[in-house]
């Protein structure tokens, strides 16, 4: 998972530093398995920041399914690592490790009654139909250089970008006879949706796209966002909202002031700052652990979230990066990606 404001040189330095640190610590190869097999192994940040599979663990990091072998480097006697096993329909389990631990790790997962093990198959996306919820756009303005650097949300710029993006998406959907249909939302529902949005975003943004099929319990929005169940019921009762899935699009745009751009040129920082972003943007899909923390010099992060319209389960999340959508061409490119979802995504996989 790449940081957007790192350039290629920074990534090389970070990789070299990790290899150097690995050479200084104690590395052990752990054979990791579970009953049942096929559980996702997640490394959790602990004291001393262990190095797992060649990468320093600073936060919860999904690794691979069981069975597997994981090399873990302990930098000191106090360095610890914790592995978590997750599988849908089973309680999660954790295992604490240090440099003295035996090199065999086995998770005995307990079945949760009433929770099915089956999960959503993303191969079903191309044939699915969606009701598109209102788009969410945040525009944050970055100004100043160096110690004077600041990043502040602009309600006016956010509303303008949201209105323009919505108009562009609707125009594209109307012309394409798409399988995506704008949700019919009357005035009372719009008011309720606006009130729900903060808690809705808070819950959805903390979900890890890689862990969605493995969470012990399905990520139901109705059990985590008060009032969403009532909203979902009334939404489904309105004519035209009979599609099996909801599509929610959240985006965060970072735009620079002209003064900052000039300042960057004067300080010869612009080339290095944008090189890392351009490289990242060219790779297509990205998964950002915390979407709300997305903060390159400029650019737009988009999260497309698929929700089961009957159960409220979040079944699929994709993220993409675009240039600053206060630029007309970038906004049109983003609108096209939304209106052709998931076709645009399939080409990237």
Q: Where are the domains of the chain?
A: 8-108, 122-348
Bridge partner list, 306 = 247, 316
Query: In this predicted structure, what is the pLDDT of residue 270?
Result: 41
- Length of the chain in terms of residues written: 349
Nearest residue to 300 via CA among 249, 248, 251, 333: 251
Query: In this predicted structure, what is the pLDDT of residue 239?
Result: 86
pLDDT tens digits, 25-70: 789 999 999 999 999 999 987 777 888 888 888 888 888 999 999 9
pLDDT tens digits, 290-321: 676 777 778 899 999 999 999 999 999 998 99
Which tokens go with 188?
Answer: 């009372």
The answer to whether the pTM exceeds 0.85 is: no
Query: In this predicted structure, what is the pLDDT of residue 61?
Result: 86
Coil, helix or strand at residue 150: strand
Gyration radius from the chain CA atoms: 22
Classify 8-108 by CATH class: mainly beta
Nearest residue to 19 via CA among 53, 48, 64, 43: 53
Average pLDDT per block of 10 residues along the chain, 349 residues long: 35 45 75 96 83 84 92 88 96 94 96 92 90 95 68 91 95 78 91 95 93 95 95 91 94 76 43 36 43 77 94 94 92 93 60
- Return d(Cα 283, Cα 320) in angstroms, integer: 9
């Amino acid at each position: 998972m790449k940081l957007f404001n790192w350039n290629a040189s920074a990534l090389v330095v970070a990789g070299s530093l990790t290899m150097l640190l690995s050479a200084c610590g104690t590395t052990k190869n752990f054979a990791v398995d579970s009953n049942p097999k096929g559980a996702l192994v997640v490394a959790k940040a602990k004291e001393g920041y262990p190095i797992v599979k060649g990468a320093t663990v600073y936060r919860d990091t999904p690794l691979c399914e069981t069975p597997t072998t994981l090399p873990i480097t302990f930098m000191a006697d106090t360095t610890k690592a914790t592995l978590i096993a997750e599988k849908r329909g089973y309680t999660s389990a954790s295992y604490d490790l240090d440099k003295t631990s035996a090199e065999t790790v086995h998770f005995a997962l307990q079945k949760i009654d009433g929770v099915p093990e089956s999960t959503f198959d993303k191969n079903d996306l191309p044939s699915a139909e969606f009701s598109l919820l209102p788009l969410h756009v945040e525009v944050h303005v970055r100004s100043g250089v160096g110690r004077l650097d600041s990043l502040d949300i602009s309600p006016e710029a956010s509303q303008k970008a949201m209105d323009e993006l919505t108009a562009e998406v609707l125009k594209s959907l109307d012309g394409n006879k798409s399988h995506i249909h704008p949700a019919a939302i009357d005035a009372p529902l719009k008011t309720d949706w606006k009130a729900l949005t903060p808690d809705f975003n808070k819950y959805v943004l903390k979900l890890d796209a890689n862990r969605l099929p493995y969470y012990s319990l399905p990520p139901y929005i109705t059990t985590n966002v008060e009032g969403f169940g009532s909203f979902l019921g009334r939404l489904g009762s309105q004519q035209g909202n009979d599609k099996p899935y909801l599509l929610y699009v959240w985006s965060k745009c970072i735009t620079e002031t002209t003064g900052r751009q000039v300042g960057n040129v004067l300080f010869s920082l612009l080339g290095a700052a944008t090189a890392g972003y351009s490289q990242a943007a060219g790779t297509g899909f990205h998964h950002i652990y915390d979407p709300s923390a997305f903060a390159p010099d400029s650019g737009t992060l988009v999260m497309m979230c698929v929700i089961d319209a009957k159960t409220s389960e979040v079944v699929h999340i994709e993220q993409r990066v675009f240039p600053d959508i206060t630029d007309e061409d970038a906004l049109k490119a983003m609108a096209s990606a939304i209106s052709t979802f998931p076709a645009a995504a399939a080409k990237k996989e």
